[in-house]
Chains A and B, each alone.
Chain A
Amino acid sequence: MPYSEKILQHFEHPQNVGSLDTDDPHVGTGVVGSPACGDMLRLQIRVGDDGRIVEAKFKTFGCGSAIASSSVATEWLKGRTVEEALALKNTDIVEELQLPLVKIHCSVLAEEAIRAAVADLRAKQAGGGS
């Protein structure tokens, strides 16, 4: 099955590849999937003092659609509040990338990674600068 232009663009020029310091209290890290399942995604966000996401990074083990989904998701996160981040739906990614049916799980993974990253951030912040 041929890939959409959008998938190819993000796959060939992925945005926001990289890592943030997991120990930083302003950084939330979400890791979902596993190599045995064929896809593993690590998504990280760093929030500023105003609660907005100033940086989003990812590293992904997976097919082209998984990498493209990660790239799109991190692009969208930048500048948003954490609440806005949680409002992002996998269907938004499906639409943006025109993901075929068999690749929808890649977008689901990206959504789950965002939730996991936010949950990690909130857990850290609730921990009260420990």
Chain B
Amino acid sequence: MSRVYLDNNATTRLDPRVLDAMMPYLTDRFGNAASRSHAFGWEAEEAVEKAREQVAGLIGAESTKEIVWTSGATESNNIVIKGVTSMYAEQGRHVITQRTEHKAVLDPCKFLETQGSSVTVLDVDSGGRIRLEELESAIREDTILVSVMFANNEIGTIQPIAEIGRLCKPRGVLFHTDATQAFGKVPIDVQAMGIDLLSCSGHKIYGPKGVGALFVRRRAPRVRCRPLFHGGGHERGFRSGTLNVPGIVGLGQAAALTGAEMAADAARIGALRDRLWTALRDRIEPITRNGDPQHCLPNTLNLSVHYVEGEGLMMACKDLAFSSGSACTSASLEPSHVLKALGVADDVAPSSIRLSLGRFNTADEVETAIDQITRAVERLRAMSPTYEMALQAGSLQRRTG
């Protein structure tokens, strides 16, 4: 039995076509893209600029000059949250974000607060979307930045991005979106959606790890940003440091491929995800799907499998790789802040798992997953005191009946 990887929101397998594109830049074409005086430098620079076009193309950026290379989305988010607020401090020190953001946004926001900024963290509805009227009333005179993720990594919920852009623009507030999970999975258009800053990463789209990008709008408005790294002035001063040429080439190629194959991949992967959900729902009731099925990434399925603990379930599915909503790693278990924000009950949150599919998953693998999860849940429920209590209380008959 071979292993089945269902954790594509954590990271993805490098597409062999991406590796092929990268290989020359790991071997013969090793030049520094900043070397202006010889062909080694020129060919590296040319490759980097082609990648910039590929990434710009995937998000509808007007100019390749709007793409800044980084080490990944964590860095991109940090550049925005620290660098933009620092640059615009005289205009105001208020930032708005929301509760289900990745830690790579929430933690820099917490840091901002220690530096004298004020941060409003919006609540979300039970599907994980912010309420636009709450955003509107949270915007103040001194608000300089709104940071709302495009799609959530745990539950796949897609935010009303274009609507947020429409709220921010006329009020002169910059709009940043952490699009790490949406990039390459759903269409993104920074023009139509009014996005001023956008973070993305290579390793979520079958590209290499340790490389990402930041879109920084240059026109209407021209966004300014203080760099985190000083030294050499690479990337028009936004991010100094010798470019990771093979990584950037990989990210560019990965972006081009996901762009070309997005519609077909989304349809195929979405069908696999739906098969997974309907089969599990029918076989292992009671089970709840978390998130907002109407506004969800095609690949993500977050489930609460009642009366079974998520980590135990993962361990019981020996050949499957997925993740649990919360890790039981200490006496004081920390439930997922995302599920908490949705209002998932404290005694249900530990029963949550995330299955995230990708380009390389097959229909056979999904059937294997359905069988293994079903068997594991039956086995664990037979050992579960809460399941026994529910049976005795007759609450299961009511649920399933």
Contact with B along A3-45 (1 / 0, CB 8 A): 1000000010010010100000000000100111111111000
Within 8 A of B (CB), among A57-75: 59-64, 66-67
For the complex, is A89 an interface residue (Cβ under 8 Å from B)?
no
Query: CA separation between A3 and B316, bound complex, in Å?
Result: 12
Q: Which residues of B lie under 8 Å from residue A102 when comparing CB positions?
A: 329-330
Q: How far is the CA of A35 from the CA of B309 in the complex (A)?
A: 8
Which residue, A31, A60, A103, has most C-beta atoms of chain B within 10 A? A60
Contact B315 A3 (CB under 8 A): yes
Please determine whether B311 and A64 come into contact, CB atoms closer than 8 angstroms.
Answer: yes
Q: In the complex the two chains form, is B385's CB within 8 Å of A42's CB?
A: yes
B346 contacts which chain A residues (CB < 8 A)? 36
Q: Taking the nearest CB of chain A, how far is it from the CB of B386, in angstroms?
A: 5
A105: Cβ under 8 A from any B Cβ: yes
Assembled-state Cα–Cα distance A40/B307 (Å): 10
Q: Does B326 contact A (CB under 8 A)?
A: yes
Chain B residues with CB under 8 A of A36: 345-347, 349-350
Residues of A within 8 A of B386 (CB): 35, 40, 61
Given contacts A17-B382, A59-B383, A61-B307, contact A38 B326 (CB under 8 A): yes
Asked if A38 and B384 make an inter-chain contact with CB atoms under 8 angstroms apart, the answer reads no
Secondary structure of the A contact surface, majority rule: mixed
Q: A36-B347, A102-B330 are in contact. Are A14 and B312 (CB under 8 A)?
A: no
- List the A side residues contacting B315 at CB < 8 Å: 3, 11, 63-64
| Contact between A19 and B311, CB atoms less than 8 A apart | no
Q: Which residues in B have their C-beta under 8 angstroms from that of A41?
A: 385
Nearest chain-A residue to B382 (Cβ)?
A17
When the two chains form their complex, are residues B333 and A37 in contact, meaning their CB atoms are under 8 A apart?
yes
Instruction: Using A67-B312, A105-B331 as known contacts, list a sample of 20 further A-B pairs with CB atoms less than 8 Å apart, ordered by residue number in A.
Output: A3-B315, A11-B312, A17-B383, A34-B347, A35-B348, A35-B386, A36-B349, A38-B326, A38-B350, A39-B328, A40-B386, A42-B385, A59-B388, A61-B386, A62-B328, A63-B315, A64-B311, A66-B328, A103-B329, A108-B331
Residues of A within 8 A of B (CB): 3, 11, 14, 17, 19, 31, 34-42, 59-64, 66-67, 102-103, 105, 108
| In the A-B complex, the 10 residue pairs with the closest CB atoms | A38-B333, A64-B315, A36-B346, A59-B385, A35-B347, A63-B311, A42-B385, A105-B331, A38-B328, A102-B329
